[in-house]
Structure 1
Amino acid sequence: MIRKANLQLLIDREYGIGKHGAKAEFARRLGKQADYISRCLYPAEKKGGKNVGEDFAREIEREFSLPVYAMDQQRLGSDTAKTIDVEGLPAPLAQKIAGYRQVVEVPRYDVAGSMGPGTEPPEMNMVVENMSLDANWVRNNLTYTKIDNLKLISGRGDSMAPTIRSGDAVLVDSGINTVEDDAIYFFLMRGKLQIKRIQRGLDGLTIISDNGQYPPIEVPGEREEDITVLAQIIYWWTGRSF
């Protein structure tokens, strides 16, 4: 199980989390079929799965310049990395190095933003789990106010399809609480939680569903206080079944 988890971690680290075709690119680099890599990542209960064997694990380590047996250690052995000695360094640099993270733990809340008529806010925002993201991937692929402002919620409904589909995991930046840019926001309106695209115009806001079956909603400037922006959507993982 450790090798399987490390295989997924390495693919995410090299090619980006959720990137289309990442397994195929990874497979080509190792001279394997994409289907072989996919089967190595099958859940234990799914038929047709493959194990990451001893020879394949060592081959991966050589190809990606990993320490020997890194595939057999938790998170590719990143937890055992040596601490950098910051003594004597300028204070700003020492603080930056000391605060460096290899892994970003993003809390996932038991909250769903409606992509439809809206959902009732929960009585309590409860963290149900944490998602581990490679810190290098976060820094290189996301634009955010602060790492600690990153939260994970779920989308529900079809009004933002095909951009965001019902059940998708949605990464939000809770440090953004105003509409400045044309973007997708997580907000509270008339007591309902919603995920929609919002555009700012001269006379107010326009709330837009990417699904053309839902008409836009015009919010005049004097009614903007009816909308409480909780966060901006910055990334999402779209699941598909075949």
Structure 2
Amino acid sequence: METINKIRIARLNILIEEAGGLTRFAEKIGKHQSQVSQWVNESPDSATGKPRAMSSRSARDIEEICRKPRGWMDQPIEHIHKSSAIYDQEPVISSKRISFEEDTNASAFFHILDVKAACGEGHFNNDYHEIVRSIEMEPNEAQHLIGSMNRNNKIQIVIASKDSMAPTIQPDDLLFVDMSIKDYAGEAIYILLHGGELICKRLSIVGKTLMVSSDNKFYQSWPWDDRMEGTRIIGRVIRALPMTFKKFGSV
């Protein structure tokens, strides 16, 4: 009987082929190529010497991103119902066939992180976050709407909460954040790690002082020099996708 890790490797190879190669698959699920390659090749862990294995949580995340049924990664291929033509043709693909070439026609992916950027009091977040889902766009559409095809995954999505940046940003808006920007780069809206919380604020220079402010005037501004120890810029907000429904009647 195959081990669960062998089954997941076989499934992983199928998904890599469906995506058009390792590069595109890694981009789709928000992982580095090296991590996916280590899963496929069962590379030894430098600390334990044991083969690296995919966790159940990673398997469930991949199923969701790739729109597969829950548990699909754990199901042996030979047990799939043979009436389905697509499963009749599913091979176990050798890792030597995986392509590392960049496909400029590949879809653009923007990953939604498992955090909320608080426009107000703040929500506690860890410094590293899991991807909960992804938005897929055609390359030209992504370039037009976001200004980038996000080939290097530097643009991530976080969800706004509270109202301190209203009316510019409303609670539950999807914020497209350039995570490569870690320093002040002109007046703009930034995501900050402040007091163990992620907050969404506007940074601007007033006179000679860098100020942290809210677009909602009910919230007070404060000088950057008065920040708590450890406060830093996580990224700059480049787009916000409104998620407010307009209600015209009851159901």
TM bucket (normalised to shorter chain) is 0.5 to 0.7
What's the counterpart of residue 172 of structure 2? 167
Q: Which of the two has greater helix per residue?
A: 1
Does the 8 Å CA contact 2:188/2:204 hold for their aligned counterparts? yes
TM-score, normalised by the number of residues in structure 1: 0.54
Partner Cα distance (2:227, 2:240) in 1: 29
| Residue 191 of structure 1 pairs with residue 211 of structure 2 | no
Q: Are the counterparts in 1 of residues 177 and 239 from structure 2 also a CA contact under 8 Å?
A: yes
CA contact (8 A) 1:179 1:200 kept: no
Shift of 1:137: 2.2
Letter in 1 for 2:142: V
Tell whether the 8 Å contact from 2:110 to 2:150 is kept in structure 1 after alignment: no
- Cα contact 1:144–1:173 (8 A) shared by 2: no
Aligned match of 2:231: 227
Match of 1:151 in 2: 156
Aligned residues: 145
Please report the TM-score for the alignment, with normalisation by the length of structure 2.
0.52
- CA pair 223-158 structure 1, distance change in 2 beyond 3 A: closer
Structure 2 unmatched ranges of 5 or more: 1-100
What is the Cα-based RMSD across aligned positions, in Å? 2.5
Q: What amino acid sits opposite 1:108 in the alignment?
A: I
Question: Distance between the aligned counterparts of 1:224 and 1:146, measured in 2?
Answer: 32
Counterpart Cα distance in 2 of 1:146 and 1:106 = 7
User: Could you say if the C-alpha distance between residues 145 and 193 of structure 1 is closer, same or farther in structure 2, counting changes exceeding 3 Å?
Assistant: farther
Q: Which runs of 5+ in 1 are unaligned?
A: 1-94
Question: How far did residue 224 of structure 1 move?
Answer: 8.6
Q: Could you say if the C-alpha distance between residues 201 and 145 of structure 1 is closer, same or farther in structure 2, counting changes exceeding 3 Å?
A: farther
Q: 1:214 aligns with which of 219, 225, 241?
A: 219
Q: Aligned match of 2:137 in 115, 123, 133?
A: 133
1:121 to 101, 120, 125: 125
Matching residue's letter, 2:160 = G
What is the CA distance between 1:121 and its match in structure 2?
1.3
How far apart, in 2, do the equivalents of 1:120 and 1:196 lie?
16
Deviation sequence 1:93-143 (CA, Å, 0-9, x none):
xx8xx5413411111111100000111113751111111022112223434
Structure 1 runs of 4+ aligned residues shifted over 6 Å read none
Q: Secondary structure at the match of 2:175?
A: strand
- Give the fraction of aligned pairs with identical amino acids, expressed as a percent: 23
Alignment of structure 1 residues 38-187 onto 2, 5 Å:
98-122=102-126, 125-143=129-147, 147=151, 148-187=153-192
Distance 2:184 2:128 in 1: 25
Correspondence for 1:239? 243
